């Protein structure tokens, strides 16, 4: 009971941390952590390649989406997320794309270590892209409720059109594929050591998931709580099994 109460209090606190100052602090901290982590895991050359690809491709995908409704559907940002790039795309959104794609790469590699059948280029591309869709299935309903952006034609997934998830999948798939080609390395070739490097990307998804739980409860989106909880527990489980597998093989 005590543990359950502590988790409940933590979830409620994370759910209340929706101020712009908190968002900026989190983005700055995550960005600094990303740069140090990426430079150690990939080296500076591949880090630069990843930054270029994961910024430019999602940026143009979002711009096309804002102008023509492809591939995400027709939506518009409200100005809540602060400073914007040309064509009205918030800087915060682009930073989020970079961080989510990077963390997704490590989660995909970790799953490939647990399940060898998932340890190829095509399985990794599909796996990480699906993970991005799963995260967006929680992010988008929260963002719309808070007022980050609005959909011209709301869909059936808590007001989100299913085309949006196709757009996320396609954008992630193309971005990751171009990165793999541009950096001349498959997931198997670029797999970093030591295994504790997987902790930070997995922890990022876990903390986001717990914050999602608090926000979903606060915004009357309780039906999505099981999905967020599954994502949080799944991330922690992935890291645990990776560490166990690593320790047993040494």
Whole-number Cα distances in Å, 23 to 5, 18, 95, 134:
26, 7, 12, 21
Query: What confidence tens digit (pLDDT) does each residue in 131-152 have?
Result: 999 999 999 999 998 888 999 9
What pLDDT, on a 0 to 100 scale, did the predictor assign at position 8? 47
pLDDT at position 104 over 80 = yes
DSSP 170-182: HHHHHHHHHHHHH
First and final C-alpha spacing in the chain: 38
Percentage of the chain with pLDDT > 90? 32
Name the band, by pLDDT with cuts 50, 70 and 90, for residue 193.
low
pLDDT at position 4 over 60 = no
pLDDT at position 154 over 50 = yes
Instruction: Provide the domain count of the chain.
Output: 1
15 domain-assigned: no
For range 67-88, the mean pLDDT: 89
Identify the CA nearest to 222 among candidates 133, 145, 161.
145
pLDDT at position 15 over 60 = no
Q: What are phi and psi of 67, to 5 degrees?
A: -85, -40
10 domain-assigned: no
DSSP 80-127: TT--EEGGGEEHHHHHHHHHHHHHHHHHHHHHHHHSGGG-SHHHHHHH
Q: How far apart are CA 140 and CA 89, in angstroms?
A: 16
Q: How far apart are CA 212 and CA 244, in angstroms?
A: 28
Average predicted confidence (pLDDT) for the chain: 81
Kindly give the interhelix angle for 91-114 and 20-42, rounded to the nearest 10 degrees: 50
pLDDT at position 120 over 70 = yes
pLDDT at position 88 over 80 = yes
Please give the torsion angle defined by the CA atoms of residues 89, 92, 94 and 97, in that order, rounded to the nearest 10 degrees: -130
14 domain-assigned: no
Query: What confidence tens digit (pLDDT) does each residue in 48-73 have?
Result: 999 999 999 999 999 999 999 999 99
What pLDDT, on a 0 to 100 scale, did the predictor assign at position 138? 92
158 domain-assigned: yes
116 domain-assigned: yes
What pLDDT, on a 0 to 100 scale, did the predictor assign at position 50? 93
pLDDT at position 11 over 90 = no
- Domain containing residue 70: 20-248
60 domain-assigned: yes
Helix (H, G, I), strand (E, B) or coil at 62: helix
Q: How far apart are CA 190 and CA 182, in angstroms?
A: 13
What pLDDT, on a 0 to 100 scale, did the predictor assign at position 188? 39
216 domain-assigned: yes
pLDDT at position 217 over 70 = yes
Tell me which of 9 and 236 has the higher pLDDT.
Answer: 236
Kindly give the interhelix angle for 225-248 and 121-146, rounded to the nearest 10 degrees: 150
7 domain-assigned: no
Kindly give the interhelix angle for 91-114 and 44-68, rounded to the nearest 10 degrees: 120
């Amino acid at each position: 009971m005590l543990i359950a109460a502590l988790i409940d209090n933590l979830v409620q606190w994370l759910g209340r941390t929706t101020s712009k100052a908190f968002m900026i602090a989190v983005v700055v901290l995550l960005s600094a952590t990303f740069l140090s982590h990426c430079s150690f895991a990939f080296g500076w050359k591949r880090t630069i390649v990843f930054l270029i690809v994961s910024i430019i491709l999602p940026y143009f995908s979002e711009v096309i989406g804002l102008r023509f409704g492809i591939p995400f559907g027709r939506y518009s940002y409200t100005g809540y997320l602060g400073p914007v790039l040309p064509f009205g795309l918030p800087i915060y959104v682009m930073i989020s794309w970079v961080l989510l794609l990077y963390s997704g790469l490590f989660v995909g590699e970790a799953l490939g270590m647990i399940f060898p059948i998932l340890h190829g280029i095509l399985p990794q591309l599909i796996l990480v892209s699906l993970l991005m869709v799963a995260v967006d299935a929680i992010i988008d309903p929260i963002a719309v409720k808070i007022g980050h952006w609005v959909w011209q034609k709301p869909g059936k997934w808590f007001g989100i059109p299913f085309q949006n998830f196709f757009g996320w999948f396609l954008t992630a798939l193309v971005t990751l594929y171009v990165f793999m080609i541009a950096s001349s390395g498959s997931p198997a070739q670029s797999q970093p050591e030591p295994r504790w490097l997987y902790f930070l990307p997995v922890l990022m998804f876990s903390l986001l998931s717990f914050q999602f739980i608090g926000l979903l409860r606060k915004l009357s989106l309780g039906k999505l709580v099981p999905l967020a909880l599954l994502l949080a527990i799944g991330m922690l489980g992935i890291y645990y099994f990776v560490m166990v597998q690593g320790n047993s093989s040494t």
